[in-house]
Structure 1
Amino acid sequence: MANTLKTQIAVNFVNANIKSKHFELTGELLCPEVLKECFEHISLKVVDNKAEISATKYLHMFGLLLLNSSAEEQVWLPNNHIFDRNKDQGQIYQFRVRFYPHNKRVNFFNLQSPDNVVFEYLFLQIMNDFLMGKLGGSDKIDDTNVLKLITISFLMPQSLPFKSSSIVDVHLSNQSIHYFNIGNKVSNFIIKRFSTWWIDSFWICRTVKTEIQKMKREKKLLAYYKQMFFTEVMTHEPYYWIEKYKATYNDGNKKTEVTLTVNFYELNNKPSLYFGEVMMYSLDELIDIKIECYNLDGAPPKTVLISPRNGATMSLEFAAKGAAESFVSMLQGFVMLFVSYDFCFKSCEFQTMDMKLRSQLQSFGYLSSSSITTILSSAGDTSRFLIHESPYKFGKYEVVVRHKAEETRLDIEIIDENRVKLFQNKTELKSCDRPALLHYLRNKYKIQRIPRNYPSMEEINKLFQLNIIEPYDIVHQPPASAEPVVYQRDQLVIIEIKSGKKPITKTEVSVRYQRMMLKSLQVEDPDRSEAFYKAVRDLCKLHSKKPESVLKFQGTVLERKPSFLMEFSPNGNLLDYLCQNQLTVDQKVDIIYQIVNILGFMQEARVFHGNLRSRKLFVFVKEGTLNIKIKLGDSGLSHYLDTLPLHEVRNIERLPWLSPERQQNLKSISLESECYAFGTIVVEIIYQTDNFLPDLNMSCMQNDSPLPQYTKLVTEEQNAFENQEDQLVPEAKKAIEDIQDFAKSQCRSREPAVRPSIMKISQVISGKLWSSGLSDMLAMIVGLQNWKVLIFFCYLRFKDTPDVTQMK
């Protein structure tokens, strides 16, 4: 028996009720063959329905994890692995779901879904990872939720399948749990959470039994508790399954130890390659990967060369045995499932036979009937066809032909590496090699629909992708989506370069007939890249809070350098608009009021801008009206500038907006510092300039201020009230001294505690200013010099306001 085991490999499963399988190492045993047999093996155990299961749809979700590996990180077999009798004999693997579907796609209530086999096995895997693996020790799951998960785990029946349609009542025979066996049913990771396990385990058993009895009295479906378990884990540890690898990154000058992983970039939820916490490339950008080994026996270290679409090839060295192949197969799996199923890296060494067949036949993966109808729909009478994987049989393909309203289906059977046979209703039509078959089909049925023009139409992609873009030639109009998307560079039509200066260039572009602003970071610096990303992330958070007052993030552009598409403002930034247009007093006051509102929802969201100024505010004017809408833009590279010394030139330029505490510590961004910047913005609006240095000493607000340059708006209505203007000027002159004192002592005070709160300023402008009847006076005094009227309004409001320091 021992000798027999040495010529075998063993595959375990994630539940003890599923017996292990053994495979003889005779001939060429391929990894896909093992995966197929394992999938068929579990499908007989985890579900009770006898319907045919579209197994080909799911194969690339699964993998074989090496259990008896000495490496620190996990080692997965690549799908193109060929088992070797000398090297692989005696190895033990575990059959696992390697890539988890999107959380919103996992539904245990759809009892007739063909996805049930995968979902049921995924549930068993997550439950096993929690009870017996590191997941149970996660500090992201608190003790209360741990107890809830333990309870649901022991609610499950004693044997498979765990029928989702079962009613949880007194007739359900759940797993037994008592003081003497609970220690064998949970891992040390869970036990270590409790300081006195020998006492705590007694109360845990008692609590679990009590909760299970409550659940049985409620008589809900077992699917309800499976869904609860899955949701609980995915809420706290959604990416616990993501793999991590250690490698040495060689940039040509030095070598750096890095931790490699794939994570989901939060702006577009696309899988991306990360070095630690730094995003390097979206997986869409990778075009090829190669593994090089300089040892004749193929032993580590091995070098992985990654070639992005725009950028130099990266070199990564892996020291652990099997780590390089495991890492590359992880990237390939993410690309196929989360990006596009038909994409495969060019290097043939990573392609399985299935991948080569799909490439040669230009075949889709398994398609649903509705997807086939969508792809083959056409307004013309020309025949068209497509090839896709058979839903039920591995290694078989189906040809679907559409001519007008008639549909014909043919079967392709793979004979060997070169020859194939074509059948119609089990009648052989042709036997030839693959190129000859395609030539025959294209001559007979004219147009072949190929995956490149219909990305992510395969059924498997629908489990992993939420925002699947419809193909360009679909007959029906796809529904509009509010979510940001990813664009190729050739989808952008350049209209005008607004700013070509480094480090950030701004270009007005047209995307699908919509004007947008393309912002691109032109320097390759991780610190500036992170600041650029953070500025957009913060803007997205604020947009979710108040979309009407924040520029919308429209999407990303697939380029080597970070590039974002933002909502386009046809009227430009606030300062330029003020200098180019003659605004009335009420328009300026309304602008200030809108800025106060922006500060208000920044306070609610606890997201502070850090670079608040009039050039970061954008103007939208509704055509044919005088209504001006202000929206907040991103902070640019201010988070990077905050890491530089204060005397750096770019920080000196920011001094008028930086509060004294921020000048001491640039990273000290708070509500008070934003109020200080707001005070400077009010001065910008009045003076219509931000060129304060060296002309204006903003720190003391004394008599060295330059005379304001205003443009007086002259209309017939204003001339009618010329006498009133002359009468109001003396009062306005008196107001100047008082309002300057208010600005100095409160809004731009050196002491943060003295500055007024957002609520205080909002009450001043929205409550006292407009409710006191002064809005009616605006029409009478609209011709007055704007700065005098604004100061006069503020004076009327604040002259009787108690001292803020006394109020505190």
Structure 2
Amino acid sequence: MVADESLTLTAVVGAGLGTKPPTRVRFRQPQHGRASRVDVICKQLMACIVLTNMNPPLSSPPTVENILLSEPNAANGHDPKQDIKSTALTVHLYHWGKTREGADHLEDTLTFPPGEYVAEELCITAAKACAITPGYCSLFGLMRESDQVWFPPNHIFKLHHTDNESLHLRIRYYFPGWYNGSNSSCAHRYGLSKGMESSVMDDCVMAYLFAQWRSDFLSGRVQIPVSHEAQEECLGMAVLDMMRLAKESDRLPVDIYNNTSYKSLLPRCMQSHIQSYNLLTRKRIRYRFKKFIQQFSECKATVCNLKLKYLISLEMLLPSLYSERFQVTDLSSQEATIIVNGNKGILWCKGGEEQGADEVYCDFPEVIDISIKQGSKEGSAESRIVSLTRQDNQILELEFHSLSGALSFVSLVDGYYRLIADAHHYLCKEVAPPRLLECIQSCCHGPILMEFTISKLRHSGNCQGLYILRCSPKEYDKYFMSFIVGYESMVEYKHCPIVKTESGEFILSGTKRSFGSLRELMHCYQKEELRTDGHTFQLTRCCPPSPKDKSNLLVCRNNQVSEVVLFPLLHKHISHMVFHKIRKEDLSFSDSLGRGTFTKIVRGVRKELGDYGEVHQIDVVIKILDKAHRSFSESFFEAASMMSQLSHKHLLLNYGVCVCGDENMMVQEYGKFGSLDIYLRKKKNCVNITWKLEVAKQLAWAMHYLEDKHLVHGNVCAKNVLLIREEDRRTGSLPFIKLSDPGIGIAVLPKEVLVERIPWVAPEFIENRNNLSLATDKWSFGTTLWEICSGGDKPLSTLDCSKKNLFYEDRHQLLAPKWTELANLINSCMDYEPLHRPSFRAIIRDLNSLFTPDYELLVESDMVPGRIRELGFPWASVSHEPAQFEERHLIFLKQLGKGNFGSVEMCRYDPLQDSTGEVVAVKKLQHSTAEHLRDFEREIEILKSLHHENIVKYKGVCYSAGRRNLRLIMEYLPFGSLRDYLIKHKDHIDSQKLLHYASQICK
């Protein structure tokens, strides 16, 4: 164990070096062989060093004095040529270079003239100078030493000739215990399979960390306890350091000892502490130190081993080296300390550092979103409130005393999240790395290794035309387009380089054309036929990064179960049906609430007997499956079972099912304010932008919950979202919604029903039923978001099924709102490439980013999308078909008549569900055979063409179940049929009235 190994080193190196009487160290001689005492000491030292399988650096670190990151900005008001020799920015590197004496070391620096520099680009330039490869660059950050401020990667330094900014390139992200590579439970980078894991750091990064921590240790940057135990640890580390110096200079440790004071290898506070001892004690310490140096003269440990043991000792001695602390104020104005640690996550200590123990708030993978906004009015203008949203939708709000402190904290959590949970996701746009945003825009992977690239191609279909765009794992500003050529068993994997020039242009190897972005380059070559090594092919489908892809970019910590799945199953059925059975006697039925595609919806009351004999009553909604659709019973019960096994505050409760004879019923929670689309139309002038965004965010949370469980809902739309609570602006209560069950599963619906549901059903599923995936729900969410923005309007409602199909075939988009960020979100959800749609984690983040003071400047029209007639498509003219009534809004009142072929019902068409709708007569067929349907359609066409005061007025039609069921909607005449009226009132009707009726019939 590491702790025991450290103790072993202390026993060998540190014993007797302190103020206590020296302990005599005895080494047992082996019974066989002639091992010397020094050999035994060396073996004990080596036993303390656990090596990992670390890759050697690609090249030795170059010595760099001046690197110009970008051309000086001429807009700064001075001549760039005059400033080229002036220095406005210095980046210090913990980069070892020997002095002439061979003992002391100086920091290397990079200097930059006045201009504008992005922090991420500075970091990359410095990493190049230190031979740090792209795969490890995410461990680094830039810090200003004077005030200990870390800069987010997107920070822009605007420097003039009078400025003198000084920064340090530092390893910021650290995972304790990373060095024990022989133990798979310790921190490591993921491998393609077990046994193929790699180290968190390679030799080059480890050497940089050694230089950084050694500098912190000796300079006193971190506080060291002044105690006898700490003193012995420090002296032991000084022995290691002196041995390292001897190895690096190819000299004997004794020579280094004779030319170097051992105190120079100790922290300043420890030097002062030892200097306070009397002369005799100081001589004894120096004498014992020399004896140990002499004993270690023939030790075979390498420089790398000695540095590693030095780091291990420092990690145990000074945890503050890899934990960051932030002083904040919570919403109750109480001081608190936030601690961020690579292994433990985000901790806090209420009441400041001195009071109480550290409590874990959450781990990095649990964070969904972070936002930054202006601080409270009572605070300073510089203060900022950081809102951190957890997986369970709990929000922690902290007030930082400065913007720089807030950005430092957020960028730290954001960086750890990308190292642990998802390498291609950011939690907060205010600190998002520019290169990451560029990669996301271009569907480009980070610097993943070739084996992960080939594995992803194989799992994505392994067919010709498939390709992956990725950053080079060895060189900056170089990319690879990895693709497949050949067929079946003759498949080959090719990796074509793409180079980014100094001017920022992108060029594909073997071509001469240059492009301004990776996206432009790929858009061009996807249209062309390409040739390589005798193969002719065309790029057809990109494999973008998937949420939580496992690769060498992710670190698995020593306290972390391998929760990241390499290629997660996108759809998982609940293994068996589970639901509560409810007796029909316990249900009472009241008002009709309309119809679904295959169900009647009724409001009711459920009665349940309590433990003490009391009767509980609760309002419920009862969905009754039509007897004509009993073939869908299994799917109906699957939906009930799925909802019964899920628990989320934004998912509608399912109380159980009731089966009585040939009636199948689902009993659900009652939503007092009805479906969302109806409420939006009813309250169009009352709901504002904030209301709509809040409702959209709540729906996204429900979808994130389902996505996390790899469950596809399949029927996300505004009419399937129920409003449980209205907004109350007096109390600050927000609206509250719940997503209802999916109903009959999308996978078993007839084709015509699916086409009728365009544009809620994703285009890839219309094309092929095997394409059901989590991405299907993302498309549906985009359409639902469009509905919410439009105030409950239905997209493409004026188009018939053939034109809806054409809408998908021509890859058109719904006309988006004027609000650019909102339009981009809708369009990204409704991307025709399923793999390009964002995760719901990203959707929640983007919705939260819209809650800024800027949206208060927007007017409602900025959020309302255009109509289909405004799109300008040649086929997008408004349908001349009279109004099509929605079956769900037909509220049955009573039956007016029934014959051999059909029946007539009295219904209220109540689209606002407030009993204000018009009463109509609805005629429907008893049998929906093709012949009956054709006859009925002819009857409707005749009635539609007749306009006379003595002919019943045609109002429209109502299709359901994919146009299989047809209903005729007519005006309601309260006196009913003339025949029945005459029989009922024959005693009051004279000949004159009969002639009048006959005359009207003749007309």
TM-score with structure 2 setting the length: 0.40
Bigger-Rg structure (1/2)? 2
